[in-house]
Chain A
Amino acid sequence: MQTTISLEIQRYRPEQESEPVYQSYEVPLRKDWVILDALNYIKDNLDGSLSYRWSCRMGVCGSCGMMANGTPVLTCATFLETYAPGPIRVEPLINFPVIRDLIIDMSEFITKLKQMKPWIVREEEQPLSDGEYLQTPDQLTEYKQYSMCINCMLCYAACPIVGLEPGFLGPAAIALAQRYNFDNRDQGKKQRTEILKEDNGIYECTFVGECSIVCPKSVDPAGAIQRYKVAAAAEWWKSLLLPWGNR
């Protein structure tokens, strides 16, 4: 019976090395341990200098995304046993600059996300005295799936286009744009589409579909992007054939 498994972890300490290196650690192979448990074990017992992000340990906060044997995963939701007998190669998410060890720089992603105005945009707020904006269960279903995104960025690591075209706004940002576009309380679709139909927007996507495969929340960003393409193409034809219809 195998009792330990080895983790080959990518280390990068900018004050110490100019290129990332790999370091191996032997950790107990427990049935109930996920990769994040192994990292915490290393940090507590073997090497306190290891740096990585995590918070909720239950697949909600989206901060523990890393590459495990080349696939982007939430390390708090991926069991060690899956990889037995090992070793497991743990690396920071690809397609992002690395700050230290397993920690990536997500500032580009945040900038892209903000461009999508991922909040309810109103041309005019209705006065408080009118009460809340009402929504039927059907209207909720329209966008609910896209609202499950936890910004873990696994889709950015999985998408080959993000790697090739660093400017591409990317799966999660577009899925979140759709989350608000499909919300009946929102009126910001036009602003979002203005950005998304241009360079670096939806037409950059070639429907590889890896984003939807790695998504831990079944958001299906690839589907969101294709729906967007259809809608934007219809708009394009409409403005060509009915130019006077352009408000």
Chain B
Amino acid sequence: MKTRKSIDPFWWSLFGTGGVIAALCLPALLFLNGVAIPLGWIEAPSYEHVLTLVKNSLTRLFLFVVISLSLFHWAHRFRFTLYDGLQLKHLNQLIAVLCYGTAMIGTIASLYTLWGL
């Protein structure tokens, strides 16, 4: 019996890797850019410096992976929060499209932004 579930390993892999990557990288990134630099604990790098850094292919790839997979991690979790938590079982299709769709739009937007710099 082939059912909608056969695609679940795919969504779950994105969710799983996204969770690991988000847990490893986001706290460090947030600490640096959200706390340490604004509070002056670390001297703020110049715009040109950051731009050159981001234009490096490896940095681009890193940021892309972090952003995209974190979004898919969110999408999967939020889907089940709506589905199980709010008991919106009957809206399953719509919820899945909205959640994964948002993550896909975010992924495309990050591609566009990162490689458009």
Q: Which residues of A contact B (CB under 8 A)?
A: 160-161, 164, 197-201, 203, 206, 229-230, 232-233, 235-237
Q: A164-B84, A206-B84 are in contact. Are A232 and B5 (CB under 8 A)?
A: no
Whether the pair B5, A201 counts as a contact (CB closer than 8 A) is yes
Contacts of B4 in A (CB 8 A): 199
Whether the pair A197, B84 counts as a contact (CB closer than 8 A) is no
Binds A, one of B7-15, B27-35, B49-57, B63-71: B7-15
Whether the pair A237, B13 counts as a contact (CB closer than 8 A) is yes
Whether the pair B84, A203 counts as a contact (CB closer than 8 A) is no
Whether the pair A236, B84 counts as a contact (CB closer than 8 A) is no
What distance in Å separates the Cβ of A54 from its nearest Cβ neighbour in chain B? Answer: 33
Task: Give me 13 other A-B pairs in contact (C-beta within 8 A), A199-B5, A235-B9 excluded.
Answer: A161-B84, A164-B87, A164-B89, A197-B8, A197-B9, A198-B5, A203-B8, A203-B12, A229-B12, A229-B16, A233-B9, A233-B10, A236-B10
Please pick, from A164, A199, A236, the residue contacting B9 in the complex, using a CB distance under 8 A: A236
Whether the pair A230, B1 counts as a contact (CB closer than 8 A) is no
What distance in Å separates the Cβ of B8 from its nearest Cβ neighbour in chain A? Answer: 4
Please pick, from A197, A235, A237, the residue contacting B5 in the complex, using a CB distance under 8 A: A197
> Once A and B bind, how many residue pairs between them come within 8 Å at the CB atom?
41
A125 to B4, CA, bound (A): 36
Shortest 6 CB-CB distances between A and B: which pairs? A236-B9, A203-B8, A233-B13, A233-B9, A199-B5, A206-B80
Q: Which size class do B's interface residues fall under?
A: 10 to 19
Residue of B nearest to A200 (CB): B5
- Please tell me if B46 contacts chain A, counting CB pairs below 8 Å: no
A199 to B13, CA, bound (A): 17
Whether the pair B16, A199 counts as a contact (CB closer than 8 A) is no
Contacts of A237 in B (CB 8 A): 9, 13
Residue of A nearest to B2 (CB): A198
- Please tell me if B93 contacts chain A, counting CB pairs below 8 Å: no
Contacts of A200 in B (CB 8 A): 5
Contacts of A232 in B (CB 8 A): 9
What distance in Å separates the Cβ of A189 from its nearest Cβ neighbour in chain B? Answer: 15
What distance in Å separates the Cβ of B10 from its nearest Cβ neighbour in chain A? Answer: 6
Contacts of A236 in B (CB 8 A): 9-10, 13
Whether the pair A197, B16 counts as a contact (CB closer than 8 A) is no
Q: 24 A-B contacts, Cβ less than 8 Å apart? A: A161-B84, A164-B84, A164-B87, A197-B5, A197-B6, A197-B9, A199-B1, A199-B4, A199-B5, A200-B5, A201-B5, A203-B5, A203-B9, A203-B12, A206-B84, A229-B12, A230-B16, A232-B9, A233-B10, A233-B12, A236-B9, A236-B10, A236-B13, A237-B9
A197 to B87, CA, bound (A): 23
Residue of A nearest to B89 (CB): A164
Contacts of A161 in B (CB 8 A): 84
Whether the pair B3, A199 counts as a contact (CB closer than 8 A) is yes
Whether the pair B16, A233 counts as a contact (CB closer than 8 A) is yes
Residue of A nearest to B79 (CB): A206
A131 to B84, CA, bound (A): 51
What distance in Å separates the Cβ of B1 from its nearest Cβ neighbour in chain A? Answer: 7
Contacts of B12 in A (CB 8 A): 203, 229, 233
A198 to B89, CA, bound (A): 18
A83 to B17, CA, bound (A): 43
Contacts of B87 in A (CB 8 A): 164
